[in-house]
């Protein structure tokens, strides 16, 4: 009996060592790689969806980092912010640009709208503790480690299948996502993001990005009020956070040539837009 217990203990120890070794050699996410080579907080960071790529720190004197992600959800935006704080990427005085997309308040944490593609949360396995991964699965964690050398398996998470296979336009896809899941829960997570940044003595800035007239006209004022602005006001009322709203800003909306599609800037325009954004913050003090 004692030998049996010893053998089982040894087997479990070997499994644990293999698991930890595989986790150590797995491909690291961008934020993990940066944290390994960084010893001071950034001046500014960006979290949110792909619309956060409209903020570009190139050709500026801002020491900034984009931690946003295509199709990101507010749950994992919160986890990313927490990770950044814990690893000293975000500190006192860091400006946290929180890019809140029209569809943000309706997205569930693990993007089940992309079913049967269930890879959205893959990149967080290993990066985050199990308790911070929505619906954590040990078997999935193990399977990801087994395939860790196939980096494309992890990178599947940026799939845009929900647009290509179900909808004919980004506007239709985003309207669907905006009402896909629990808006009250997503509002709470956005509140948690702002509150955590403030507790950390960082400066949270909520931003509604400019889009083309084609994109904005697909979302009526009434739709925006009930699906977007009501939630933003609730956050502002609770935290006093700054909200910068570019909806209807004809400096951008009237210029289709500024955009590579209906809702993302071309790279050169994102640089100029970011310079204007920094100027606005400077004027605000």
Contact 99, 48 (CB under 8 A): yes
114-168, pLDDT tens digit by residue? 888 888 998 898 899 999 999 999 888 888 877 665 544 444 444 444 444 577 8
61-79, pLDDT tens digit by residue? 889 999 999 999 999 999 9
Handedness of CA 252, 255, 258, 260 (dihedral sign): positive
178-194, pLDDT tens digit by residue? 999 999 999 999 999 99
DSSP for 142-210? Answer: HHHHHTTT-HHHHHGGG--HHHHHH-SSHHHHHHHHHTTS-HHHHHHHHHHHHHHHHHTT-EEEEEE--
What does the pLDDT read at residue 18?
58
**Residues 194-204, mean pLDDT to the nearest whole number:** 97
77-90, pLDDT tens digit by residue? 999 999 999 999 99
Whole-model pTM? 0.88
Q: Rounded to an integer, what is the distance from CA 281 to the centroid of its chain?
A: 22
**Residues 209-233, mean pLDDT to the nearest whole number:** 97
Contact 124, 28 (CB under 8 A): no
Phi–psi pair at 41, nearest 5 degrees: -65, 155
Residue indicated by tokens 């955009």: 259
Return d(Cα 272, Cα 58) in angstroms, integer: 10
20-51, pLDDT tens digit by residue? 665 655 667 778 888 888 889 999 999 999 99
Return d(Cα 19, Cα 203) in angstroms, integer: 39
Return d(Cα 161, Cα 147) in angstroms, integer: 22
Residue indicated by tokens 């955590």: 196
């Amino acid at each position: 009996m004692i030998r049996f217990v010893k053998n089982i203990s040894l087997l479990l120890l070997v499994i644990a060592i293999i698991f930890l070794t595989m986790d150590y050699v797995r491909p690291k996410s961008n934020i993990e790689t940066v944290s390994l080579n960084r010893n001071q907080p950034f001046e500014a960071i960006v979290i949110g969806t792909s619309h956060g790529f409209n903020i570009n720190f190139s050709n500026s004197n801002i020491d900034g980092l984009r931690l946003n992600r295509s199709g990101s959800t507010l749950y994992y935006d919160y986890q990313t912010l927490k990770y950044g704080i814990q690893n000293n990427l975000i500190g006192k005085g860091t400006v946290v640009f929180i890019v809140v997309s029209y569809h943000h308040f309706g997205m569930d944490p693990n993007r089940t709208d992309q079913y049967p593609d269930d890879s959205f949360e893959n990149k967080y396995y290993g990066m985050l503790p199990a308790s911070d991964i929505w619906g954590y699965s040990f078997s999935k964690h193990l399977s990801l480690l087994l395939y860790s050398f196939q980096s494309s398996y992890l990178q599947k998470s940026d799939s845009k299948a929900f647009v290509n296979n179900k909808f004919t336009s980004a506007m239709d896809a985003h309207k669907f996502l905006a009402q896909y899941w629990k808006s009250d829960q997503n509002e709470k997570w956005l509140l948690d993001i702002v509150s955590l940044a403030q507790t950390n003595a960082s400066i949270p800035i909520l931003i509604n990005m400019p889009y083309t007239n084609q994109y904005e006209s697909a979302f009526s004022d009434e739709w925006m009020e009930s699906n977007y602005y009501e939630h933003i006001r609730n956050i502002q009322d609770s935290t006093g956070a700054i909200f910068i709203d570019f909806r209807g800003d004809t400096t951008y909306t009237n210029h289709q040539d500024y955009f590579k599609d209906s809702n993302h800037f071309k790279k050169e325009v994102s640089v100029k837009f970011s310079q204007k954004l920094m100027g606005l913050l400077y004027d605000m003090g």
